[in-house]
């Protein structure tokens, strides 16, 4: 039996023995769905994109720059589908083994995979919000208008500029998801980190909050994180491939 299979069994054993498990996910859980992350050397978006495009100040100055970039990324995001790691978390929640998913991602893939309790710390790119009247629109409909030449897209109710309902640089996190995430973390007896390098504030303080509350810590990430030495289990593996093994172990256990 391979080392990674052994770790999949250990992972399922730890999750199955917990009563209040919570997961934090980052960009690494969605790269295997075809969505590029921001920091990976050679492939990260920040290596080929001006960060001011996704700053609040930059958007106010010239929203057309963002939407010109968004046209390039739209087909990638629209075609992305959940991978085994998303489905693993949905399966654990469905079996009452996971209280919720806290995510730094804005792609909506957790919900598409079937997760119900999802707390989006950075908002969602599946919606747009009017900067004038706060009306919410579906981003698919907005982007079709942009592709047809309406740049920037305007609110159909008041004519205000539409902005993706995701957190840009210079914006504060949405209060309710963050407060609920802190509450879940403080109550957790197991904290899972999946696909996050734990470099982005304030989400990167959540493992410390969990540890201080006495929770176990499991980290599944391709590269090391600052909390590896504090974790009960560290799995440095592609999260989708590992999740496939973990799902097999879990389904074989519940079928016995």
Q: Which CATH number characterizes residue 41's domain?
A: 3.30.1600.10
Beta strand ranges found along 73-230 (DSSP E)? 100-103, 118-120, 123-130, 136-138, 162-166, 190-194, 216-220
Question: Per-residue confidence of the chain (256 residues) as pLDDT tens digits?
Answer: 588 899 999 999 999 999 999 999 999 999 999 998 755 555 445 445 677 888 999 999 999 999 998 998 898 888 999 999 999 999 999 999 999 999 999 999 999 999 999 999 999 999 999 999 999 999 999 999 999 999 999 999 999 999 999 999 999 999 999 999 999 999 999 999 999 999 999 999 999 999 999 999 999 999 999 999 999 999 999 999 999 999 999 998 765 4
CA distances from 131 to 92, 121, 166 (A): 38, 19, 12
CA angle 70, 32, 182 (to 5 degrees): 80
Residue-range definition of the domain harbouring residue 249: 1-35+81-122+172-256
- Domain boundary among the residues 133, 166, 199 is at 166
Catalytic annotation, residues: 122
The verdict on 128 and 237 lying in the same domain is no
C-alpha to C-alpha distance for 198 and 193, rounded to whole angstroms:
9
Q: How many structural domains is the chain composed of?
A: 2
Residue 75, C-beta contacts closer than 8 angstroms, at least 6 positions apart: none
CA distances from 161 to 72, 98, 107, 116 (A): 20, 39, 22, 31
254 φ/ψ angles, rounded to the nearest 5 degrees? -75, -15
The SS3 assignment for 153 reads coil
The verdict on 227 and 179 lying in the same domain is yes
The verdict on 104 and 212 lying in the same domain is yes
Cβ-in-10-Å burial (0-12, 13-18, 19+) of 91 comes to: buried
Q: Which CATH number characterizes residue 213's domain?
A: 3.40.50.1220
Instruction: Dihedral sign for Cα 112, 113, 116, 121, please.
Output: negative
């Amino acid at each position: 039996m391979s080392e990674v299979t052994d770790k999949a069994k250990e992972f399922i054993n730890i999750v199955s023995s917990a009563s209040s498990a919570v997961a934090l996910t980052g960009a690494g859980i969605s790269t295997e769905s075809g969505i590029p992350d921001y920091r990976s050397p050679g492939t990260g978006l920040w290596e080929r994109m001006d960060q001011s495009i996704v700053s609040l100040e930059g958007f106010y100055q010239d929203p057309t720059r963002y939407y010109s970039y968004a046209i390039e990324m739209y087909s990638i995001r629209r075609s992305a589908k959940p991978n085994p790691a998303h489905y693993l978390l949905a399966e654990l929640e469905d079996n009452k083994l996971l209280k919720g998913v806290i995510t730094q991602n804005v792609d909506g893939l957790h919900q598409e995979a079937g997760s119900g309790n999802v707390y989006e710390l950075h908002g969602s790119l599946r919606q747009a919000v009017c900067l004038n009247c706060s009306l919410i629109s579906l981003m698919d409909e907005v982007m079709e208008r942009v592709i047809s030449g309406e740049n920037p897209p305007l609110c159909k109710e008041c004519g205000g500029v539409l902005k993706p309902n995701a957190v840009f640089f210079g914006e504060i996190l949405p209060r309710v998801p963050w407060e609920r995430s802190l509450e879940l973390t403080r109550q957790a007896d197991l904290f899972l980190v999946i696909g996050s390098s734990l470099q982005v504030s304030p989400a990167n303080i959540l493992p410390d909050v969990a540890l201080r509350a006495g929770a176990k810590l499991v980290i599944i990430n391709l590269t090391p994180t600052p909390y590896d030495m504090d974790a009960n289990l560290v799995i440095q593996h592609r999260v989708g491939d590992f999740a496939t093994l973990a799902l097999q172990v879990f389904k074989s256990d519940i079928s016995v």
